Amino acid sequence: MKSLTMVVLYCTLLSAVVSADEWHIEVVDESCDNISVTSLALDALDQAHISYGEYSTGSYSALKYAWLNGSSWNISTIESSSSGNELAGYTSIALDSGDNPRISYEDGNNEELNYASWNGSSWDIAVVDAGDSYVAVSSSLCLDSANSPTIAYSYGWLTWANLMYARYVSGWLISTVDATDGMGWWVSMALNSDDKPNISYHDSNNRDLMYAILGPEFWTITTVDVSGEVGSNNSIAVDSNDRPHISYSGVIGSEPALKYAFYNGSSWVTLVVDNNGICGMALTSIALDSNDNPHISYYNATTESLRYAHYNGSAWEISTVDTGDGAGRCSSIALDSNDQPHISYKKGDLNSVDLMYAYYGPVGIEEGEGGSVEYTLGNVIPNPSAGSANISFTLPVSCDVDLDIFDITGRKVAVLAEGVFSSGIHETEVSGLTSGIYFCTLRSGDFVDTKTLVVIE
């Protein structure tokens, strides 16, 4: 009974020192001349992968890729050019089932839609559509259940653009979704459970929000919102019932506002989420949580801030993530395994722009007057033990973990934890050991720590 009391007390103390969640903001790539549209994806360990373009007008441009390895950012240049237009003005990233990145992007120098894929050791780059002009000024990449790429993109300038669709089947197959002039300047795509593409896009001539879905043979096209100047800067996600949800910009009165549309099974519902200031310009991005509730990142031009809106099941909650210096332009949002938001975006003035990353998570374990979450392996309690004890470990991020028990000869005698664990505190029981001295070892990436356990029967 005494040992049980000690364990319960220990768990209570752990809970008491964990403080509330908050936004964490990091600079990924700093002091770039300028940065194009960012695109974010999270891997199986909830680690961020970001595609983006860096450019100096007329002198340099590059397609770049940044990924988080658990503790630090790695940045690589996939392709670069020293002349002409932006090489990667618009990018879109997706991860395959092995967490390898795939990126679609506009090659402004050659007026092409390109596709870059990581093969495990190097980047393979393919031309998808070698058009005449203004190809893929806007594009959106998805991978189907077989890891085959599909891309929705614009072809042509604003008022005479067409909406296009490319998919890879032993080669790139290209088709026109909407050949009406002015379609597809802003485009976003998501796949449903049958790998059918759902596309939101903008009618630049009539300034409407449009939606297209591929059926067994043909595309079905629907006008979603015609209430004034609407539909630009759109982003789409599909819920667990294969129903589309779209965030976008729409003018309310005389100023742009953040709007949201969803299909309820019989009709489209549209509503205003945020009209406090100039909202929704410079792209919006939407993701759905495990309850199919929407989460949206967007830019407020009035306050020059990155804003985040999410529906909690009964009402919208809106908060400011970062502010000043144009923070929040060209954002991209993804939700981790705990439904917590992660956002990539750009911040700064011309000729000095930073690629930024924000995520919502625990403040940390308090140490004295303050502190942050770190990898830790707690002490075994009780120790010595009469046969049953508890040990805890703390993770700053979601990651792969091995927690094993070794005897005094170095032989592994028990596995306490194995696999991917979310960030925060975890506790496990040690039992079934005979009398002796044992070592509890935690391994996660480069982190290794060991605690001694004495068992007395």
For the chain, what is the largest distance between any 2 Cα atoms, rounded to a whole number of angstroms? 82
Mean pLDDT over residues 433-452, rounded?
88
Please answer whether residues 243 and 259 qualify as being in contact, where contact means their C-beta atoms are separated by less than 8 angstroms. no
Task: Kindly tell me the sign of the dihedral angle through the C-alpha atoms of 271, 224, 299, 297.
Answer: positive
pLDDT above 70 as % of the chain: 92
> What pLDDT score does 10 carry?
32
Model pTM score? 0.79
Same domain for 281 and 419, yes or no, is: no
* pLDDT average, residue stretch 426-448: 88
Give the range of the structural domain holding residue 132, as residue numbers without chain letter: 21-362
* Rounded distance between C-alpha atoms, residue 170 and residue 288, angstroms: 32
Helix or strand (DSSP H, E) at 11: helix 2-17
Q: How many domains does the chain have?
A: 2
Using pLDDT thresholds of 50, 70 and 90, give the confidence band for residue 367: very low
Q: Which of 17-21, 319-323, 413-417 has the lowest mean pLDDT?
A: 17-21
Phi first, then psi: give them for residue 330, nearest 5 degrees. Answer: 55, 50
- Residue 205's pLDDT is 94
Q: Is the pLDDT of residue 210 over 80?
A: yes
Q: What pLDDT was estimated at residue 387?
A: 73
Domain annotation covers residue 369: no
Number of CB atoms found within 10 A of residue 145's CB = 10
Token pair of 275 as six digits: 């009209």
Q: What CATH number is attached to the domain comprising 250?
A: 2.120.10.10
| Euclidean distance between CA atoms 323 and 60, whole angstroms | 28
Question: Which pLDDT value is given to residue 373?
Answer: 62
- Pull the structure tokens for residue 160: 């005479």
Domain check: are 102 and 164 in the same one?
A: yes
Q: Is residue 368 part of a domain?
A: no
CA distance 258 to 310: 12
Q: Are residues 324 and 395 both part of a single domain?
A: no
User: Which tops the pLDDT comparison, 426 or 48?
Assistant: 48
Q: What is the mean pLDDT of residues 368-375?
A: 54
Q: Say if residue 382 is preceded by a cis peptide, omega within 30 of 0.
A: yes
Regarding whether 9 and 46 lie in a shared domain, the answer is no
Question: Would you say the C-alpha torsion 316, 24, 332, 148 has a positive or negative sign?
Answer: negative
> Whose structure tokens read 């990018």?
91
**Residues 31, 11 share a domain:** no
